[in-house]
Every structure is written in C-alpha cells, then in structure tokens.
Amino acid sequence: MGVYVVRRLLLTASVVVAVSFVSFVGFGLSFDPSYSLVFKPTEHAFVRAYYHLNEPILERYWRWLTALPRHGFGTTVSTDVSGTVPPHLESPGAPIGPFILHAAANTMELVGSALLLVIVGSVVVGAVSAHRQRFRADISVRFLAYLGAAVPTFLIGDLLRRAIIGQETFVVIGGHYVLSSHGGWFLLGPTTGGFVDWVKHMTLPAVTLALGLIGIYSRYIRTSMITTLSQPYVAVARAKGLSEQRVLVRHVLRNSLIPFISLLSLEIGGVIGTSLAADGVFDTGGLASAFLGALGNSDPFALTALFVTTAVVVSAFTFAGDLLVGVLDPRVRSG
C-alpha cells in the first residue's frame, strides 16, 4: 500500500507542476496587466519593468517558480503609480495566496459535501433501480434522476434560489457590495462562521451540484449491479443461505462501487468545473468569484495561482478516489 501511495503522490506532483508551467506561459503571453497605462508611457514602462513583463516568458516562469517557496503566489499586479519614475509602487497589490486559498477552501467544502450527497444518492437510486428492475419504483426513480441530469446546473440553482431563498439584499463587506439574504432557512453569500451558518449557506449549492450528478452516476451503479447480480458467486452466496440484504450490500454493491469510484475520481475536474456554476448562482465566494476578478484585471499571476490551486484541489480529490479504489479492490494497489 505504501508504494501505491508514493506512486500516486509523485503523479499528483508532476500534474501540478505541468499545470503551473502551461498556465503561467499561456496567461503570461496572452494578458498584459499594464494595458490601462498604455497612454502613459512612463508609468507603463515602469510597471512592465517592475513585474519583469519584458523578460522572456521562460525566465519569468523560473523566477516565479523559485520565489514560490519563499513568497508564495506573491501579490496581484498594481498599476497605482504616481510621479514620473517612482522608486517603488505605492500599492504593491494584494497578497494572492490568502484570497485564493480562502476561495479554494470554499470550493472544496462545496465539492466535498456535494460528492457525499452524490455517493449516497447514486448508491440509493442505483440499488433501488437494480433490485426492482422494471417495477414502478425503478421507473419513477430513474425518471427523476434522468430529469436532474438533463437540466443544467445553473438552471437548477436558479430555480432553487427563486423558490427557497428569502428576500435578497446587498451588504457592504470589506468595502465591497456582496449579495446577501435573510428571512429564510437558507442564505446567499459566503459563510461567516459556525456550523449552523455553514449549513444555511452551503446546503442549496451542494444540493444543486449533486442533483445532476446523481442522475448521471446512478446509472453506472444500476448497470454495474445488474451485471454483478448475474455472476456465479452471487448465486453461491444465496445458496449458502445469506440474506438478500447481505448479498446486495456485501457482495453486489461493494464490487459495483469500484468502477463507480474510479469513474468519479477521473471526472473530478469536471465536477469542480460544474461547481463553479453553483458558486456563481449562490455567490459562495469560491473559485468562480476569484477567477472572474482575476480575469477582469488581466492579472497573469493571479490567474496562474488560481489554476495551480484548482489543479491541487482536483489532484487531492483524485488522490482520495484512488486510495478508496485501492481499499475496495486490492488488485489495483498490487498491480
């Protein structure tokens, strides 16, 4: 098991490094954060020199990579300069790391709670459909699951928001207007602390993200369980006198979870991408908000930090899925 974990960690690290290189080069060549000073030649030249924007892109990446252990992601690009050639920027920008990490934590909480709902919901829907094939319960549950999969995530979120959220208002937090709500069990905006507050803010985004995914992944559980039910070892287990519940849970469901968890871990990047829609609708302060802010400022450093952090989040969930598959199926970790 130790060798299996080490292999997965090395693979995860190599993926994160590759993402950092591609994103830094891509954003560094595509975005110019000093564009607003193009009609101020002195300030424009100073900002480009201060942030080394005139250097070759590979040198800039190496400088950024070697500074990462000491300074983290650094600060956002600031164009607030005064005078002709100031000795330094008056406002060197806001630290990127704390903001991005806070947004990533919100997204991880959203994705983690949604995945828990997805696993439980997919297992329940898939098991009921497989055990009661072509019965009324099977048809009804599959219809609702397929309906959830067919409706876009942002539309599900918007419908839930309109139907459940109370009166919406704007409040000022940290000098910025943030959409909030009151008068109901569920609230808009990022969490402010405490378990009850977390439940009020995160329940609807997690349910929004989970509904469509349950409709997708419950079909894999159902198909896998139907295939497993026809295997000889299931007939042998029943012949030994084991209860139907024990046969379904211990033999059929456990083996059916292996391809389900493998598929879910492979598609975790798409799940996190889908979570951006829920984040945008309910304004949970996740990676979607951070991405829009960095994109509006054309800041290649913030965008690179955002993509690297997203890669770490995706790799963390994928690594957890790989470990779970290794626990469920010893053949995987010994292969």
pTM across the whole model: 0.69
Q: What is the DSSP letter of 179?
A: E
- Tell me how far apart the alpha carbons of residues 249 and 131 are, in angstroms, rounded to a whole number: 11
Q: Where are the domains of the chain?
A: 97-296
Per-residue pLDDT of the chain (335 residues; tens, 9 = 90+): 677 678 778 888 888 889 999 999 998 888 888 877 778 777 778 878 878 888 889 999 998 888 888 878 878 877 775 544 444 544 467 788 888 888 888 888 888 888 888 888 888 877 777 766 666 656 766 677 667 667 777 788 888 887 777 566 655 555 555 555 555 677 777 777 778 878 888 888 888 888 878 877 777 777 777 777 777 777 777 777 777 777 777 767 777 777 777 777 777 777 877 888 888 888 788 888 788 778 877 888 888 988 888 888 888 877 777 777 666 666 655 55
- Tell me how far apart the alpha carbons of residues 312 and 121 are, in angstroms, rounded to a whole number: 26
- Tell me how far apart the alpha carbons of residues 248 and 234 are, in angstroms, rounded to a whole number: 9
- How many Å from the N-terminal Cα to the C-terminal Cα in the chain? 11
At 290, the amino acid letter reads: A
**Residue 220: which residues within 8 A CB-CB, separation 6 or more?**
122, 126, 259, 260, 263
The CATH architecture of the domain made up of 97-296 is: Orthogonal Bundle (1.10)
